[in-house]
A and B are shown apart, each in its own frame.
Chain A
């Protein structure tokens, strides 16, 4: 670990990875909450048009990509707000138009489509000092917005109508979220890459929701997972000499898969506590049914969820409700 920090390009690359890991889940939380998980993927295609334009004009790719991506995001959001983007076709045209334009522009600039690979999957050696400055400034903007306006953005992305009755300017907040998502996508081209950045916006968020309860806790947890996987992935790619985007995303998916059994255990414990109350028909007495062949003895903490039933406790056992009765168990 010390060794890779001695290379200036790796210092820049790890710093860029850290910042990307911070902002992608921060903005991704709201994007996922609005059920626009694949928005980042589409915007990555649009950013590619910006990269193509930058290659053609010989300028730095990140600023041009940021501009192209934000413009694309605004078009998508305005179409959506006017109810014109319902059929997805408009979005598809925009996204694939961006991809095609990127490939075309890089082709006539002489770089060729192969030269785009470093932008699609990230490339550690390409992070320049001015890239890092721009990424740092925009990271600050994104973090101040996503954390400082968290209560407003949370309300707008979970219950738009209620947010409006609180006097929030819902459209402006929506535009802010998609614009910042677009900036995030473009900034991530050096580390995760344009094709994989969407994964870093979505997967840490999904994993965090399995691990912790509540929106704020999930936001913080997602940022933690994002930073850890982005930095670890970037460092690992140095040793294996592979595109960092692949490592980062595979690591994030690994965390997500590990979060599943954890969430299962948490939920099982929690579910046992909130079983609905049992309601009986007072008029009719249930028939006496004895559970056949039941060696297990139920007791509090025996592993079977307990539920209060009138004056006794039933235990839920493989789809049956067992109640102790004399020397046997009854089916309730």
Chain B
């Protein structure tokens, strides 16, 4: 029953009304842009408690990003991830902390203005997965918050949110007319 063929589905669609495009009114585009900006601000605001250059490395009691990284080992969500954090991340904590800071700053910045939005939405999903693997079992954490983060980034990717009042929407026509590698990559990323 689950193996309904593609042809069967296509016949059904052909017999019924054509599939309706997503709404693209000004209101819809404005709301999508608002969600994109909000998600961008989520990442940017959470840079405030990450303090370079050491991010709380080996602090006692643990503070800053070091404390939240330790949670991934103390409250194991996914054993291979906990092994990775314990054996690779913590011994090289400052490097991974800088990488986290830079990646999250870029996710926030690019989503805020809507540039290469689909690509950065995917990066946001990957980064959220890393956070989930570290924090999902941390006491007093509301696990739905992380699932909602995933959902928000999936929506930004699905609707190509940067085309709604974002830089993608302004520059995409230019990229589509340009044949160089960067322009083609940006068409895909937007």
Partners in one complex: no
Residues of chain B touching chain A, judged by Cβ–Cβ distance below 8 Å, are none
Residues of chain A touching chain B, judged by Cβ–Cβ distance below 8 Å, are none
